[in-house]
Amino acid sequence: MAIKSEKNFDIKNLTSFKIGGKINEVFFPDNIADFVQLLQTYPNIQVLGNLSNTLVSSKGYDGKVILTSEMNKIEIEGNTVSAGCGVKGPKLSQEVCKTGLSGLEFMIGFPGSVGGEVYMNASANGQSISDKLRSVTCFSRKYGLITYPKDKMKFDYRTSRCQNEDIIILQADFVLKQKPVEEIQEQMNNNLDFRRKHQPTLALPNCGSIFKNPVGNPAGRLLESVGAKELMFGKARVWRNHSNFIINTGDATSLDVLKLMWELKQRVLEEYDINLEPEIKFLGTNKEEIKLWQKLNQK
């Protein structure tokens, strides 16, 4: 059976930023074999998850993309849980809760997918995805299909070996602990309440935290001190309740967001000599945007 695909795919409404143009061709594999076949056939293909932390160019992307949305299988056996890279964080959190398994409560408020959350070692409310991880099934350009145990993933704050090596997450396996469902649900509710108070909902299209927190200096605090909450480029503006979030107030373009990010980065650099590093990813082939993105990532 052929792998599902679509050409000239309009991706805007799938992104949490509600920004993005047309992608030349998008594939939707639903199993590891097909996923690996695509990665081997198209060495430069881009892989995207739930598009909750990716700014896609308004000019589109003249290349091929894999969307992991169909890689959404969850298997639970005892205390062990296997999840495909496309499983959404809240869905996984809810499913393991039903069986009285604790350890993934923090994911209830994350709009992202398992692959992206392992890639960046997502964390919140005192928990991180690496805490309960047992192993990860990946595709490596160097080694092919391979399974890495947790201690080989080089996890740290908002990072894993995936950022420095050409590794694609396909599946994650967790070992969780038994706990009363009521206690798990209460923690999930508390996490959701915390998120609502400190982060914009997707009713205000956003991509989550824009910059990583420098050691000992929360990015939001640094940005607020340099007047970030008053800044706006086009229809992209800094959220008034937290300076490390940019919201799309209407028809913001990707260039609006990149220019706003650059201004934020420069203000903090000039005031504190701290070089903020983007937490989000960018996908596009527009030369002006690529140049600005490269500047944003200079260390």
Active site residues: 158, 209, 279
Return the closest-CA partner of residue 156 out of 123, 181, 179.
123
What distance in Å separates the CA atoms of residue 87 and residue 99, rounded to the nearest whole number?
A: 17
Q: Which two tokens stand for residue 84?
A: 């495909």
Element (H or E) spanning 91, and its range?
A: helix 89-98
* Backbone angle region of 187, left / alpha / beta, with phi > 0 → left and psi within -120 to 50 → alpha: alpha
Beta bridge partners of 46: 65
Residue type, 282: F
Q: Which two tokens stand for residue 244?
A: 């490390």
Q: Which two tokens stand for residue 183?
A: 């206690």
Query: DSSP letter at 127?
Result: E
Q: Which two tokens stand for residue 130?
A: 């690496």
Phi, psi of 83 (to 5 degrees): -135, 135
Orientation angle between helical segments 181-198 and 89-98, nearest 10 degrees = 160
Q: Residue 90: is it exposed, middle or buried by C-beta count within 10 angstroms (0-12/13-18/19+)?
A: middle
Cβ–Cβ under 8 Å, residues 108 and 90? yes
